[in-house]
Amino acid sequence: MSFDYDLVILGAGVGGHGAALHAVSVGLKTAIVEASDMGGTCVNRGCIPSKALLAAAGRVRELRQASHWQALGIQLGAVNVDRAGVAAHADQLVQKIRGDLTNSLKRLGVDILIGRGKVAGSQKVSIHTPNGEKTVTAKDIIIATGSVPWVPPGIEVDGKTVYTSDEAIKLDWLPQWVAIIGSGYIGLEFADIYTALGCEVTMIEALDQLMPTFDPDIAKQAQRVLIAPRDIETYSGKLAKRVIPGTPVVIELADTQTKEVVEVLEVDACLVATGRIPATEDLGLDSVGVSLDRRGFIPVDDYLAVTREGEPVPHLWAIGDATGKMMLAHAASAQGIAVVESIVGRPYSVDYRSIPAAAFTHPEMSFVGLTEPQARDLGEKEGFEVKVVRTYFKGNSKALAEGETDGLAKVIFRADTGELLGAHIFGLHASDLIQEAANAIRDRQSVSHLAFNVHTHPTLSEVLDEAFKRAHEMMSHP
């Protein structure tokens, strides 16, 4: 049977883009279908514009720290913020990255099909285009439709006074007092942006502790540095039961156990940063007998083949946020590459433990692998002891020279083999420093091996170097 394409990808986000580039490199005739903006969430409404805002906000925060500059022998005058200019910086970056992504696909000969695509049967895709319905056939199909912000019941979003990160990245205005619901990556990054630009923030977390997904030591240090000294009020163990847009925005806070309203807040704006849900509705999966799981994710096996009652559906794959495996842009890209490898007969599965993540606050947070509680649970289950080492930026020569000594690195490893299980960093350039640990976890290296790596002096990388050396000493002298 002949096909229009070897591979059709539904969704031109980072995952779909990565899959397309790799597909072309191995000789597959490829098309990518996109209903909205090329680049998906990451480029248009997520990673890229938020980092542009964080870069500007970080400069403002730094320039306003007079004591920091005085310690370096520098005196600065007043710092003023042009909100529209900051927003324009983010928008221009989005346009550039989106253009670069689109041009890279065109240059390599990938057909870009504009419209909403859905599975229309085995090895068939229908596309609702501005000019009507179009059907194409493909030997293999990858679904890479991503995710959208999740808005809990009881919260009314108007896109102006109550909004998600999709609207927040436009920075249309700077509310004097903004509530942020959620203390994950998105909430923390926007709290960093808003406070740097002069806003008051109230952070609301339904769970009993802030930053519940982070390693406890990192969360504790981050709260001391990112929250306590800043104009941030916090509520934990409180549910935003109702949020009503307007002037002011009314927020009913309820006890998470009893669901009884215990306090009512009135603020200028409210950012809903409660996570994301898969964009998997109306994808035509029923045409091949596939049902979404109870959370709306597409079921896949270890090689990301879409499954039907536990068995892989031939020539149908899914990657990225739509699978719920790891909702990160670079994870989606890795999955896309893995799927293409499987398509060409080199089956490859993604090692999720070795994929790092970061929050681009000031200072940054990053981690890879297991948290300490996760590692101890695994050790109890599999019968090994877990050891932990912590080192601090305040003892690092480069951090001292920069006057940026807040932070720590935490290394988690097996006491018997020394295998590195997790690494967590809070501090200057944490997002860059974590890669060494990610590569080590991918190769299942031991801390004893890592302790003999040579790091440039004086650099921040020596924070991890010191941790690995201390861990090796613990292995040598238990």
Alpha-carbon distance of 472 to 424, in angstroms, equals: 18
Quote the percentage of the chain above a pLDDT of 70: 100
pLDDT of residue 477: 81
Instruction: Say how many C-beta atoms besides its own lie within 10 A of residue 150's C-beta.
Output: 15
Alpha-carbon distance of 70 to 377, in angstroms, equals: 47
Angle at which helix 14-25 crosses helix 329-343, to 10 degrees, equals: 30
Alpha-carbon distance of 473 to 197, in angstroms, equals: 45
pLDDT of residue 476: 84
Copy the structure tokens of residue 144.
């890479």
CATH number at residue 200: 3.50.50.60
Binding residues: 51, 117, 145-147, 182-189, 205, 275, 321, 327-330
Binding residues for NAD(+): 182-189, 205, 275
Q: Tell me, yes or no, whether 77 and 144 share the same domain.
A: yes
Q: Tell me, yes or no, whether 112 and 215 share the same domain.
A: no
> Region 195-200: what's the mean pLDDT?
96
Choose the final residue of a domain: 274, 305, 321.
274
86-97, pLDDT tens digit by residue? Answer: 999 999 999 999
Whether the CA torsion 350, 297, 333, 123 is positive or negative: it is positive
Q: Tell me, yes or no, whether 186 and 142 share the same domain.
A: no
Q: Tell me, yes or no, whether 92 and 54 share the same domain.
A: yes
Quote the percentage of the chain above a pLDDT of 90: 96
Instruction: Flag the least confident range among 75-89, 342-356, 378-392, 418-432.
Output: 75-89
Question: Would the pLDDT of 478 be above 80?
Answer: no
pLDDT of residue 70: 87
Choose the final residue of a domain: 320, 335, 350.
350
pTM over 0.85: yes
Does the residue 154 lie in any domain? no
Q: Does residue 357 contact residue 327 with C-beta atoms inside 8 Å?
A: no
Q: Tell me, yes or no, whether 291 and 178 share the same domain.
A: no
Q: Which of 89, 315, 424, 457 is catalytic?
A: 457
Question: Would the pLDDT of 1 be above 80?
Answer: no
Q: Is 315 among the residues known to form the active site? A: no
Q: Which residue has the tokens 């995952």?
A: 15
Whether the CA torsion 124, 350, 41, 251 is positive or negative: it is positive
> Region 120-139: what's the mean pLDDT?
96
Count how many domains the chain has: 3
Choose the final residue of a domain: 274, 297, 327.
274
430-459, pLDDT tens digit by residue? Answer: 999 999 999 999 999 999 999 999 999 999
Distances in Å between the Cα of 299 and the Cα atoms of 280, 318, 349, 350 are 11, 8, 15, 16
Q: Which residue has the tokens 């921040």?
A: 460
Q: Tell me, yes or no, whether 223 and 79 share the same domain.
A: no
Q: Tell me, yes or no, whether 37 and 142 share the same domain.
A: yes
Alpha-carbon distance of 12 to 15, in angstroms, equals: 7
Name the DSSP class of 155. B
Structural domain including 432 reads 353-476
Q: Does residue 84 contact residue 173 with C-beta atoms inside 8 Å?
A: no
335-370, pLDDT tens digit by residue? Answer: 999 999 999 999 999 999 999 999 999 999 999 999
pLDDT of residue 374: 97
